[in-house]
Amino acid sequence: MIDARMFRQGNSFMPRLSSPALLAGLLSLTLASGAMADSGITGELGLGLGYQPHDPTGSSYDTVPLPYMDLDWGDVSLNGDDGLTWDAFKSNGLSIGPYINYLQGRNSDGALRGLRDVRDMADIGAFIEYAPEDFWRLFAAVGQAVGGAGGQGGVLGKVGGEIGYPLGLGIIGSNNLTLHFADGRQSQTFFGVDAKESLASGIGQYNASGGMQNFTLSQNFHFPLGDNWALVASASWTRLVNSAADSTIVRDKGEVNQGQVQTAISYKF
C-alpha cells in the first residue's frame, strides 16, 4: 500500500494512503490537540483513489476514495500505514512506543453471501522501529484487534523492511516488504467458515490456524508537482500463505495472489 513511511524526508518517511474511518477520527483529534500546542502539526494531506481487494481473501475488488496523510506533532505521528503512534522512546535511530490503527472489516455480500459480516475494529498495540539512516528502516509491531462481534478479533503482527532511493528530478522511489502474522482467532475471523456459514454459503467448513498469513511487496513513487504539491503512486502484490492460503473461502471465491494500486494528490504544509 501507499499504507506511510516510504522514504525519509527530514524526520518522516514519505507518506502513504490511509485507511478510512478511524484514521479520519484520529486526524480530527490530532488536529484539535495540535491547535492548542505551541508548535503546530506538520506534514502532508491529500486525497486519492485505490483499487484493492474487498477483504483479505481477495473475493472481489473495490475502487474506493482514500484520504492521504503523514502528520507529525512532536513525538506523535499519524499516517495511513501505522495509524496513530507515539515515539515513547527514541535513541540512535531506534523508536519504541504504542499505536492505535484501523482494521477494516467486510460486508459478506456478493461472492461471500452467507458468511457473517466482520465489523471494523481497532488494532491497539506496540511497535519497534530501527532507522539509523534517512533511506531505510526495519520495523515490527504486535497488537490486539478489539471491537469485533462475538468471537471476532485476535492478535496480529507484522515484521518488515523498507528502502528508499532518489530517481532524479525530485522523484523518490521506495520498496517495502512486510510479513503479516495472526493468531488462530484472528485468522478464523476472516478465513474460517463454521458449520452454519457453510450451510448458508455453500463454502466448505474450515478452521483457520495462526501463524504467518501473507507477505506483501510494494513499489512506491513520489512525484513533485511544484508549489508543495505532489503525486503519489503505489503498486503492491500480496501472497497468502499457510492457513490463509488453504482457506475454503480463498479456494472457492478468493485469490492467493492479490494486487493493489493506489494514487493520490497531496499538499505539504
Q: What's the domain count of the chain? A: 1
Q: What angle do CA 87, 182, 207 make, to 5 degrees?
A: 165
What is the domain-level CATH number for residue 56?
2.40.160.40
Confidence of residue 33 (pLDDT cuts 50, 70, 90): very low
Instruction: Write out the E strands in the chain.
Output: 8-9, 12-13, 16-17, 42-53, 61-73, 76-79, 83-86, 89-91, 94-103, 121-133, 136-146, 155-168, 171-182, 211-226, 229-240, 257-268
pTM of the model: 0.85
Residue 196 lies in domain? 4-268
| Model confidence pLDDT, tens digit, residues 139-189 | 999 999 999 888 899 999 999 999 999 999 999 999 999 999 999 999 999
What mean pLDDT comes out for the span 40-50? 89
Which three three-digit cell numbers place residue 127? 511497535
Contact 105, 54 (CB under 8 A): no
| Cα-Cα-Cα-Cα dihedral sign, residues 202, 58, 21, 49 | negative
